[in-house]
Chain A
Amino acid sequence: MTMAVVEIESLAKSYRVYQKAEGLAASVAGLFHRKYRTVEAVRGIDLTVEAGEFVAFLGPNGAGKTTTLKLLSGVINPTSGTARVLGHVPWRRENAYRRRFALVMGQKNQLWWDLPAAESFRLHQQIYRIDPAEFDRTRDELTGMLAIRNLLSQPVRELSLGERMKMELTAALLHKPDVLFLDEPTIGLDVVAQYKIQDFLKHYQRERGITTLLTSHYMKDVAALCRRVVIITHGRIMFDGSLAQIVDRFGGHKVITLLFADGHIPGDLGVYGEVISEEPPRAKVRVDRGDVTATLGRILQQHPVVDVNVEDPPLEEMIAEVFSQVDESAGKDGELVVGRGG
């Protein structure tokens, strides 16, 4: 039986932001009369996440993803609505709740800058009241998986960004949280470090069954980790479903890559579909999903093709498509919410 770990109902958060026009005169005027604008960062979100799910929040910058994570981790109080995580109201900030979740932010450092990470870990052991033997075991396991054991006694400021992120993850997982919030954990990392962190998260999540909510701009993170994707734009949930559903719904076409035997790309390729790139002996053609087999058959009949590859367009492209469709429909107040799929 599954159990709801995160339950959100009509959750909303608005900020009052000070508005200042450009220039000195406006600055002076601002001293006497301030203009504020209300920014509705999150406008009524309903969401349920079951135990053990790995959910990705996608959305353009400023869509409300991070605000949602901040609400769920109790950093800010909502304007209205309710949320419960593991049965706790996050913004009450009860220690009983705080010992059961972790928040990792790619752009924030929670470790002591001038000291080795081992010291910060020790402090975590104390404040999360982790049994010393248990602590040693977990620390060794995590640092082993992330291959950072030999860096434990090096001051954090001397670590690379990737190494530091691995330390941050270790610190966040020492108390074996039941819920993990990840806010852009791979931001700014090189491809290798990104991959290693993805790989670690995948294994760790699968093994421990920890409920995880992730925001990321890297589609590779999302594709590698999450079956369920929640797209948030303008503070609302616009799509909630599987990656496969996104592909079905928004990936209206496929990309066929052709390798020509004579190294010569035929001039009439345009009749089969939109030619995306021509790099002899290869060419890429965009074809409607439904026509793939028929079109491919015709091409193979007409031209000397030695290799073929049919794939979905890059996920980034599809997501951009979703975002833009949502933007268009936002004016009509239409929502693109798709029922949850498995």
Chain B
Amino acid sequence: MPARTAVWWTILRISLEERLVYRGDFALGTLMRFLPILTQVFLWWAVFTAASTGQSIDQTRIVGYSYHDFIAYYLLTMVSRAFSSMPGLASGIARDIRDGTVKKYLIQPIDMLSFLLLNRMAHKVVYYTVATLPFAFVFYLCGDFFPNGWPEPQVMAAYVASLLMAFLLGFFLEATIGMIGFWFLEVSSLLFVYMLFNFFFSGHMFPIDMLPGFWGEVVRIIPLQYLAYFPAAVFLGKVEGPELIQGLWIQFAWVVLFMFTSRAAFHLGVRRYSGFGG
């Protein structure tokens, strides 16, 4: 076990160093991600103004959500996505399969999924280091949108747990999609479809509890809500008590399921693999 910890630590450390090579580009990219916040704030402001029909914008409700609720929700999904989004993971795995780089993990005594997970953790650590200040600044500016302030400590603990699980779920989900590269050499279209579904059904675009009927049922069943909506809902106190505990367990179950699915896909894929790319 100490040997394994040493390996993990080395992978983490080297991944961190690798990230820091392109720190300039990375910092700029991170800051640019904050621009959409402005457009979203104005978008919903315009929507609510149009819907207000004479009354004050603060009293206007759309499916139970006020303008303030919307912005608060949107900011929190930004935080969720900072944990659950995995830029380049699936496409990177598919590319490694196509060009033969995946051989490295077959020849060396190293587990590909663990390696990629540690690598991704390093990416996230660097990202949070760069993004924490801008995030704090945005939340400070938007403090008015959170009239209740910080949640209770237990809720906060649940929130942190749901964020960490959102990270793991995002990782194993995308890793599974990347493994499809063993069967279909190109996964970019599939990934595009996934991203599209993710955008709508994870709650990134709007709070998914707004969805009525059939689609409401669908989003409650599929795991995507745990990538963005669920942690935000926990923070905002929209899920409480037994419902919260149940939600965390379901999220955990999805993590475990995709952990096994990605591993199984890797094993089956390797058996199929014929060593493309010379």
Interface residues of A (CB under 8 A from B): 15, 66-67, 70, 73-77, 93, 95, 98-99, 102-103, 105, 107-108, 110, 112, 114-115, 119-120, 122-123, 125-129, 155
Is B141 part of the contact surface with A, judged by Cβ < 8 Å?
A: no
Q: In the complex, which of the residues A76, A95, A110, A155 has the most CB atoms of chain B within 10 Å of its own CB atom?
A: A76
A155 to B14, CA, bound (A): 13
* Residue on B nearest A95 in the bound complex, by CB: B109
**A76 surroundings in chain B (CB, below 8 A):** 273-275
A66 to B21, CA, bound (A): 35
Nearest CB of A to B4, in Å: 9
The answer to whether A126 touches B108 (Cβ under 8 A) is no
Nearest CB of A to B1, in Å: 13
The answer to whether B7 touches A127 (Cβ under 8 A) is yes
Nearest CB of A to B3, in Å: 6
The answer to whether A98 touches B109 (Cβ under 8 A) is yes
Given A115-B21, A129-B3, are A123 and B11 also a contact pair (CB < 8 Å)? yes
**B7 surroundings in chain A (CB, below 8 A):** 126-127
Of A98, A108, A114, A123, the residue contacting B21 (CB under 8 A) is: A114
The answer to whether B17 touches A115 (Cβ under 8 A) is yes
Within 8 A of A (CB), among B59-105: 100-101, 103-104
A129 to B2, CA, bound (A): 11
17 contacts between A and B (CB under 8 A): A66-B278, A75-B106, A75-B273, A76-B273, A77-B271, A103-B103, A108-B278, A114-B18, A114-B22, A115-B17, A123-B14, A126-B6, A126-B7, A126-B11, A127-B108, A127-B110, A128-B108
Given A15-B274, A108-B100, A112-B18, are A93 and B106 also a contact pair (CB < 8 Å)? yes
**A125 surroundings in chain B (CB, below 8 A):** 10
The answer to whether A122 touches B14 (Cβ under 8 A) is yes
Nearest CB of B to A94, in Å: 9
The answer to whether A75 touches B275 (Cβ under 8 A) is yes
Within 8 A of A (CB), among B1-43: 3, 6-7, 10-11, 14, 17-18, 21-22
* Residue on B nearest A69 in the bound complex, by CB: B275
* New A-B pairs, 6, CB < 8 Å, besides A103-B103, A123-B10: A67-B275, A74-B106, A76-B274, A108-B278, A125-B10, A126-B10
Encode contact with A along B257-275: 1 for CB under 8 Å, 0 otherwise. Answer: 0000000000000010111
A328 to B231, CA, bound (A): 70
Nearest CB of A to B42, in Å: 39
**B6 surroundings in chain A (CB, below 8 A):** 126
The answer to whether A75 touches B18 (Cβ under 8 A) is no
Of B18, B22, B108, B274, the residue contacting A98 (CB under 8 A) is: B108
A73 to B100, CA, bound (A): 14
A64 to B38, CA, bound (A): 59
A329 to B181, CA, bound (A): 40
The answer to whether B10 touches A122 (Cβ under 8 A) is yes
**B101 surroundings in chain A (CB, below 8 A):** 108
A200 to B274, CA, bound (A): 32
Nearest CB of A to B180, in Å: 17
A15 to B275, CA, bound (A): 10
**A114 surroundings in chain B (CB, below 8 A):** 18, 21-22
The answer to whether B14 touches A112 (Cβ under 8 A) is yes
Of B3, B14, B104, B275, the residue contacting A115 (CB under 8 A) is: B14
Q: In the complex, which of the residues B10, B110, B275 has the most CB atoms of chain A within 10 Å of its own CB atom?
A: B275
Nearest CB of A to B107, in Å: 5
**B10 surroundings in chain A (CB, below 8 A):** 122-123, 125-126
Nearest CB of A to B214, in Å: 32
Nearest CB of B to A118, in Å: 10
**A112 surroundings in chain B (CB, below 8 A):** 14, 18
Q: In the complex, which of the residues B10, B109, B271 has the most CB atoms of chain A within 10 Å of its own CB atom?
A: B109
* Residue on B nearest A97 in the bound complex, by CB: B109
**A75 surroundings in chain B (CB, below 8 A):** 103, 106-107, 273, 275
Q: In the complex, which of the residues B3, B6, B14, B271 has the most CB atoms of chain A within 10 Å of its own CB atom?
A: B14
